[in-house]
A and B are shown apart, each in its own frame.
Chain A
Amino acid sequence: MKELSLNILDITENSVKAGADLIFITLTETEETLTVSIQDNGCGMSPEFLEQVKDPFCTSRTTRKVGLGIPLLTLAARQTGGDVDIVSQTVEADPVNHGTETKAMFYKNHIDFTPIGDITETVCTLIQCNPHIDFEYRHTTLLGEVTLSTKQMREVLGEVPLNTYEVISWIREDLTEQYQSV
């Protein structure tokens, strides 16, 4: 992957496939680190499956939906000295608080740090393709915060789908403007 924003898009697709209807995408930066968290309320993964997802060669055809996504994210994190941590609770084990959080930590100043890239396009793509899912996006940098809440947007938009062209354009402009001030 050329940009971390593409890894983020790819990992969030796992949450979509897990049947989540609420996904938090949170980027938090310090002087030295970037932490990316993707948290969903989907069906979750069993401890056995969770063991496997980091290893591309353990993924059988029936479990192919995970494939190379996690290994590529892990590679991107580890090559900076960081790592990936996944916590998951299946719907069977916990019918109320089920879901998965994938957390990747990167050392930004390492020469092998992959740039974040066009995260605005990732957010627009996710909402375009999944208008029924709620996304809570938050990127905290040293200079300020960029946020987007589809729940808040939905309250104003009513029955108008989030993937209406004008709405996606609004999101793109909104995020671009917010990024200009951080």
Chain B
Amino acid sequence: MKSLAELAAIRERMKDKVVLREGVAGTRVVVGMATCGISAGARPVLNTFVEEVNNEGLSETVTVTQTGCIGICQYEPVVEIFESGKDKVTYVKMTPDKVKRVVAEHLKKGNIVTEYTIGNAQ
């Protein structure tokens, strides 16, 4: 079992960052995690977002979270990206590989990956 002392060390390292995080408006990545989403593969999609957002150094401004069924079950796994002052972007039929591109192009550089959006799927 890992030691709780390691958690204490994380706390020490995070001290300054916690304050910073509260002041940031931020981008929200929301993954549909109802029965439809989970059975279509939402769990690895969500965890790849968490991993890639950290790898790209975006943890301070991007939060990854979940929502329930948004009613377009045939397009699951569905991911919505909310950025302040911009229209919501809905990505459909997501996979861990597509997530890597969305993080690198959309979250990092601000370019929407149009071919993965719902507008492109319909």
Q: In residues 60-98 of chain B, which contact A (Cβ within 8 Å)?
A: 64-66, 68-69
Residue numbers in B under 8 Å from A173 (CB-CB)? 2
Tell me whether A151 is interfacial, beta carbon within 8 Å.
Answer: no
Measured between beta carbons, the chain A residues less than 8 angstroms from B35 are: 10, 67-69, 72
Determine whether the beta carbon of B34 is less than 8 Å from that of A13.
yes
**Category for how many chain B residues contact A:** 20 to 34
Counting contact residues on chain A (CB < 8 A from B), the size range is 35 or more
Task: Select A165's contact among B4, B54, B65, B68, beta carbons within 8 Å.
Answer: B54
The 8 A CB mask of B11-47 against A (1 = contact, 0 = none) is: 1011000100000000000000111101100011011
Nearest neighbor of B39 in chain A, beta-carbon distance: A1
Chain B interface mostly: helix
CB closest chain-B residue, reference A178: B1
Whether the Cβ atoms of A157 and B10 lie closer than 8 Å is yes
Q: A6-B43, A157-B11 are in contact. Are A128 and B50 (CB under 8 A)?
A: yes
* Cα(A158)–Cα(B39), bound, Å: 35
| Interface contact A152-B4, CB-CB below 8 Å | yes
B residues within 8 Å of A by Cβ? 1-2, 4, 6-8, 10-11, 13-14, 18, 33-36, 38-39, 43-44, 46-47, 50, 54, 59, 64-66, 68-69
Task: Give A residues with C-beta under 8 Å from B.
Answer: 1, 6, 9-10, 13, 17, 64-65, 67-69, 72, 121-122, 124-125, 128-129, 152-153, 156-161, 164-168, 170, 173-174, 177-178
**10 pairs, CB–CB < 8 Å, chain A vs chain B:** A6-B39, A9-B43, A10-B34, A10-B39, A13-B33, A129-B66, A156-B8, A157-B7, A157-B11, A165-B54
